[in-house]
Amino acid sequence: MLIGYARVSTADQNPDHQVDALLRAGVVERDIHVDIASGAKASRPKFDLVMQLLRADDTLKVTRLDRLGRSLLHLVTLGAELRERQVGLHVVEQGIDTTTAEGRAMFGMLSVLAEYQRELIVANTHDGLAAARARGRAGGRRPRLTADQAALAQQLYDGGQHTVAQIAAMLGVPRTTVYGHLDKTSTRTRTPA
């Protein structure tokens, strides 16, 4: 039996090209399972289901090796588990078929390269953030409140006449945003409002 697995990292991404490639590779549509999850996550519901469905002499088909995961340890462990269970792995776009000695060798080499690519991405991200910090730019989201709005929120909170919910409603933001901008250590003791 052929079982297909596709994965995209976010809901904004479209898995259709992977599904189409698996259909062309002979997988029946009902046997294609799609996850929307990062490859770095240990648990992916559809992947877990696929692993339960696979039996001896079945073949797991994916479009690319990085759809299975980005960790070398995970890929190597998965490859060993599939071999032990007598399940083949066919990576359509990379021409890997672990039912052959050449395919097993290629799987091992591409696993190393996939891990290397992931480490490069992480290193480049860290370098980019460090360079931005050195130039005075902070990473992450922009604050939802301007400095003036945050000062007003603090003033209203310190005055004790408004609840955080009221301040949030005035500023058109969630209460959690107001809480994130308040310096509660500088406030005087509040009387419940």
Q: What is the pLDDT of residues 117-137, one digit of tens each?
A: 778 888 888 888 888 888 887
C-alpha atoms less than 13 angstroms from C-alpha of 125 in its C-beta half-sphere: 8
Tell me if 71 sits within 8 A of 40, measured CB to CB: yes
Residue 69, token pair as written in the block = 């995961």
Q: Quick: pLDDT tens for 11-52.
A: 888 999 999 999 999 999 999 999 988 766 666 899 999 999
Residues 9 and 50 grouped into a single domain:
yes
Within-domain flag for 132? no
Within-domain flag for 19? yes
Residues paired with 4 in a beta bridge: 32, 61
Residues 157 and 64 grouped into a single domain:
no
Residues 156 and 75 grouped into a single domain:
no
Within-domain flag for 65? yes
Average the pLDDT over 164-185 and give the result. 86
Within-domain flag for 15? yes
Which of 9, 43, 71, 111 is catalytic? The answer is 9
Check if 38 is active-site.
no
Within-domain flag for 104? yes
Domain that residue 159 falls in: 147-186
Residue 145: the pLDDT is: 85
Residues 115 and 167 grouped into a single domain:
no
- Which H or E run contains 57? none
**SS3 label, residue 160:** coil
Q: Quick: pLDDT tens for 42-100.
A: 668 999 999 999 999 999 999 998 888 766 667 777 888 898 999 999 999 988 888 88
- Which H or E run contains 119? helix 101-134
Residues 107 and 154 grouped into a single domain:
no
How many domains, in total, are found in the chain?
Answer: 2
Residue 20, token pair as written in the block = 């189409």
Residues 75 and 161 grouped into a single domain:
no
Domain ends where: 104, 119, 134? 119
Within-domain flag for 105? yes
**pTM listed for this prediction:** 0.56
Within-domain flag for 137? no
What CA dihedral angle connects 103, 78, 43 and 41, to 10 degrees?
-60
Residue 144, token pair as written in the block = 């939802």
